[in-house]
Structure 1
Amino acid sequence: MTRVLVARQDNLGDVLLAGPCVRAVAASGAQVTLLTGPHGRAAGELLPGVADVLTWTAPWIDPEPPPVTAEDTGAFVALIRAKSFDRALILTSFHQSPLPLALLLRQAGVPWIGAISEDYPGSLLDLRHRVDGDPPEPVRMLSLAEAAGFSLPPDDHGALALRRPLPNTARLTGGGAYVVVHPAASVPARQPSAAWSRETVRALAADGHRVLVTGAPSERALTQEVAGTSAVDLGGRTSLPELAAVLSGARVVVAPNTGPSHLAAAAGTPVVSLFAPVVPQERWAPYGVPTVVLGDQHAPCRATRARVCPVPGHPCLDTIDPADVCRAVTALALPGVVSPIPAAATQ
């Protein structure tokens, strides 16, 4: 059996967006090992087609990079060499270089490596793939697999997907329909203020929705403030598979540009995307599910990739009218609203 290493060493949302590429490789009959960073491993374990997950912190990608040491890189090279991979695909965002990882994989003896690269790769890459335009990230990454000779089967239409079954979370969600509000983002510039999120939760509750507020353990103070007395606070109470199950059961998810918005899309749930334009929505908006994007896409922070909002008052998100969120939720929850991409295979 061919052994293929697929690398995506970013956050959980980036790993989820690599799902169609991973499934294309797995559809060939290859055994796929996914290489992630520490922030993406849990998402990798949810991807259909992944046989094994390796984790290593890439100093040129991680937002809090460790120092580069011969001991660390040497141990990584030894690990990859021991796995005897036949091929490797390196997945990166447009602003990242695949070449540092390609160098280490060459040292580990990987005989064939493909990546998207604008930089001259010398002997580091066997496939130097170019992508024109500004396609969504899942399409961009899938195009690398296709250039390498892998393709999705006819019954897989390329949406994001999760391994199922997901955990039973009835003890958390209770009975009846609900809407999820996920107020946090890993990058502060992409997150609305707590006051705005709290006001929006109140508006949704007043509009007749039962609201659940989700967040990581480190976000408990935020979720408690946002939920108030208007919503159920699930902050810090779910593992990633349990969060996926909660999002899967929601009528609609309201979230900024963050991993859980892509997790909701992978679960097949419509998303109201509170999208700060520091990165282009064409690339990073929720993919493959009905979506309403809210937020000023022409704000001064547009395309800056700022991690902290450079504009006082965070106007691109905090000036969104909560009533518009309510209208978007109602529209997406209507019967007959269908995904622009048919559901992908989930096993």
Structure 2
Amino acid sequence: MRTLAVRLDSLGDLLVTGPALRALAATSDHLSLLCGPVGRPAAELLPGVDEVLCWPAPWILADPGPVDPDGVEELRAMVAAGRYDRAVVFTSFHQSALPTALVLRLAGVPWVGAISVDYPGSLLDLRHRVDEDVPEPERALSLAVASGGSLPDGDDGRLALRDDVATPPPHLPRPYVVLHPGTSVPARAWPAERFRSAGVQLGEIGYHVVVTGGPDETELTAYVADGPDSDVLDLGGLLDLEELAGVLAGADAVVVGNTGPAHLAAAVGTPVVSLYAPTVPAVRWAPYGVPRVLLGDQEAPCRDTRARACPVAGHPCLTSVTPHDVVTAVIELCGLPVPGTDRLTGRNAS
């Protein structure tokens, strides 16, 4: 059985599809994963995947170019060359699987399954129905199982990376907490000055603090790391995704918004303080399968808007969260790091 799994969107989306991919891999002789360029770094780290294919889908990308007939033909030919027996198209609740299914049909794939609200005609052999208010990993896994997949014995269905990745770097001081202040869209960002203050307070109670971010976030990470008398380690722009996974794996906790590294932390089993803007539902997209504390007003006016820029003056869903709240959440997840100190001030207890 040669299987093609398709997930064409972002890094976090690939990570939460991991359990479903393992279920398909367990019932396949070969599993190819077709992803988009944004998600490819995560696709390369997932267990069970034998081959990664990449194509930028203009019906999925957030900033797409025009539909190019030559590009679509390139995709059709790439899929046809794989001679797949089945294909399973994974999408988020607001995306349509049908444009992809059409190309798969034109490529000669004999069996195609997907979740689809829209009538698929002959594009799908399996039109899977699912309760939308379930965690995204469970939603995707249900599609894989309905498509003939099955998790192997001993697989708990949590997010995971390959066994040969996510080794914690030995040189980082312990215990440490990771602050990841960047987000994929501005509507999900906690103010940088509050990250900075939280880093100072975490240092006062005995934690080392590591700040991470991508190559385009170095100014942000430098600001967060540069607090008063700070010995915070700034790794902004210095890590690829596999290296970031290792840093997250060694942390006691990760403080992060609703963005890809939150799911990466879950994939390596690290507790998450989730600064969660409710533009998409937390029941679907909060970090899965690890201890977590969800911070942010989940009833804010931006709820379920999928907004990329905050539509409400003052960004109340996240500005309601204080650095004190974050430090308290870290303590709740991890316990008191240094005996004999006051949990919230770092003063000696007496």
TM-score, scaled relative to structure 2: 0.93
When structure 1 is superposed on structure 2, of 275-284 and 62-71 the one drifting more is 62-71
Q: Deviations over 1:281-305 (max 9, x none)?
A: 0000000000100001011111111
Residue in 2 that maps onto 1:222? 220
- In the alignment, structure 1 residue 62 sits paired with structure 2 residue 88: no
Q: Deviations over 1:157-201 (max 9, x none)?
A: 100000122265636x52321100101110110111212221222
Aligned mates of 1:190, 1:322 — CA distance in 2? 16
CA contact (8 A) 1:224 1:235 kept: yes
Secondary structure at 2:293 match in 1? strand
Aligned amino acid, residue 303 of structure 1: D
CA contact (8 A) 2:3 2:28 kept: no
Aligned mates of 1:7, 1:35 — CA distance in 2? 5
Say if 1:285 and 1:220 are closer, same or farther in 2 by CA, change over 3 A: same
Report 1:112-127 matches (<5 A).
Answer: 112-127=111-126
Q: Deviations over 1:241-262 (max 9, x none)?
A: 0000000000000100000000
Structure 1 outlier segments of 4+, above 4 Å: none
TM-fit CA distance, 1:211: 0.4
TM-fit CA distance, 1:70: 1.1
Q: Deviations over 1:58-91 (max 9, x none)?
A: 1011011121111111111111111111110000
When structure 1 is superposed on structure 2, of 205-214 and 283-292 the one drifting more is 205-214
Residue in 1 that maps onto 2:187? 189
Report 1:203-214 matches (<5 A).
Answer: 203-214=201-212
Aligned mates of 1:196, 1:113 — CA distance in 2? 47
Residue in 1 that maps onto 2:308? 307
TM-fit CA distance, 1:30: 3.0
Say if 1:23 and 1:136 are closer, same or farther in 2 by CA, change over 3 A: same
Aligned amino acid, residue 175 of structure 2: A
Say if 1:252 and 1:59 are closer, same or farther in 2 by CA, change over 3 A: same
Unpaired runs of 5+ residues, structure 2, are 337-350
Aligned mates of 2:167, 2:115 — CA distance in 1? 39
TM-fit CA distance, 1:128: 0.3
RMSD of aligned alpha carbons: 1.3
Residue in 2 that maps onto 1:269? 270
Residue in 1 that maps onto 2:81? 82
When structure 1 is superposed on structure 2, of 27-36 and 272-281 the one drifting more is 27-36
Aligned amino acid, residue 323 of structure 1: H
Aligned mates of 1:334, 1:166 — CA distance in 2? 27
Aligned mates of 1:334, 1:27 — CA distance in 2? 38
Aligned mates of 1:300, 1:176 — CA distance in 2? 40
Paired-residue identity, %: 57
**Larger radius of gyration between Structure 1 and Structure 2:** 2
Aligned mates of 1:178, 1:14 — CA distance in 2? 27
Aligned amino acid, residue 17 of structure 1: V
- In the alignment, structure 1 residue 255 sits paired with structure 2 residue 253: no
When structure 1 is superposed on structure 2, of 21-30 and 253-262 the one drifting more is 21-30
- In the alignment, structure 1 residue 8 sits paired with structure 2 residue 7: yes
Secondary structure at 1:196 match in 2? helix
Residue in 1 that maps onto 2:173? 175
